[in-house]
Amino acid sequence: MLFRCNILALVGRGPNPQYSPNKVMIWDDHQSRCIGELSFRSEVRSVRLRRDRIVVVLEQKVFVYNFADLKLLHQIETIANPKGLCVVSQTAGSLVLVCPGLQKGQVRVEHYATKRTKFIMAHDSRIACFSLSQDGKLLATASTKGTLIRVFNAVDGTLLQEVRRGADRAEIYSLAFSPTAQWLAVSSDKGTVHVFGLKVNAGTPVTEVSQNSSEPSLPHTSSGSSLSFIKGVLPKYFSSEWSVAKFHLPEGSQYIVAFGHQKNTVVILGMDGSFYQCQYDPSSGGEMTQLEYHNFLQEAP
């Protein structure tokens, strides 16, 4: 969906698809008809929309089109990308696009305004998820391990901050910056949404962050370890930054998270049709308060 307007990008899926899985259909919901289509030689993995661009992601390629006339502007080769990972900045004017690079653990950042490409070796493992701040200046990444989330300056690739979701492996479903990039929300298959405080802006690297991520399985819950004074002796785990607030969900469904319009709120959407709105306390943190719950797939009584 293009923001909250009548334009949708549709891709066929399932055993009897309405449209070919190799096509992107541009649907105008006011006219109730397709107003354009793009065809490919392999299945479309994902689509990203801006008012001026359509980005189509295949298994190993990303295509960037001009929205007005569907003219191809750019194509990028990537490592195998079955989940169709790709994000674009949404600020008008300056387009920033992020996709996997050509190596495991690498992300590619395209700055179209300055015609610059930046490769960032973000993780040792494969990339599982990434997100851009609204202005395209900050990039958050998670690997298939799912224990650490790293925040980079998207312009020069500097590692700014590293936060820890937990000690055991997890599949990260979504990452989201708050509109001011003061907070970062994370959802995973552990059934917990975490909110982290970001101490960075695009110009202030955190000097103590290292790429070393050896991870003994030790339980810990505080937002900063009291053992951080011995960080030079014990593994990295003890100096980890932990989430400020969290919210527990029923396990078994995939959830995506975003920040709400109200102050200090997050919105959580589940593939099971569930919708949660929760509020976190930025100073005391802890468990979030549930403000609202609906399920859009369960029939009304």
Q: For the chain, how many structural domains are there in total? A: 1
Amino acid identity of residue 12, one-letter, is: G
Model pLDDT for residues 101-146, shown as the tens digit of each residue: 999 999 999 999 999 999 999 999 999 999 999 889 999 999 999 8
Residue 59 lies in a domain: no
Residue 177 belongs to a domain: yes
Give the DSSP H/E element, type plus range, for residue 117: strand 116-121
Identify whether 229 is part of a domain: no
Asked whether residue 142 is assigned to any structural domain, the reply reads no
Cα–Cα dist 133/155, whole Å: 12
Residue 219 pLDDT? 33
Closest CA to 185 of 252, 236, 117, 260: 260
Average pLDDT over residues 252-262: 92
Residues 6+ apart with CB under 8 A from 158: 152, 205
Q: Is 218 within the bounds of a domain? A: no
- What CATH number is attached to the domain comprising 185? 2.40.10
Q: Contact, 88 vs 109, CB < 8 A?
A: no
For 154, phi then psi, to 5°, come to -70, -15
Domain that holds residue 190: 169-199+239-300
Average pLDDT value for residue range 276-281: 96
User: What mean pLDDT do residues 247-262 have?
Assistant: 91
Note whether residue 176 is domain-resident: yes
Does residue 174 fall inside a structural domain?
Answer: yes
* pLDDT attached to residue 211: 40
pTM of the model: 0.84
- Is residue 80, in this structure, part of any structural domain at all? no
Please answer whether residues 239 and 175 qualify as being in contact, where contact means their C-beta atoms are separated by less than 8 angstroms. Answer: no
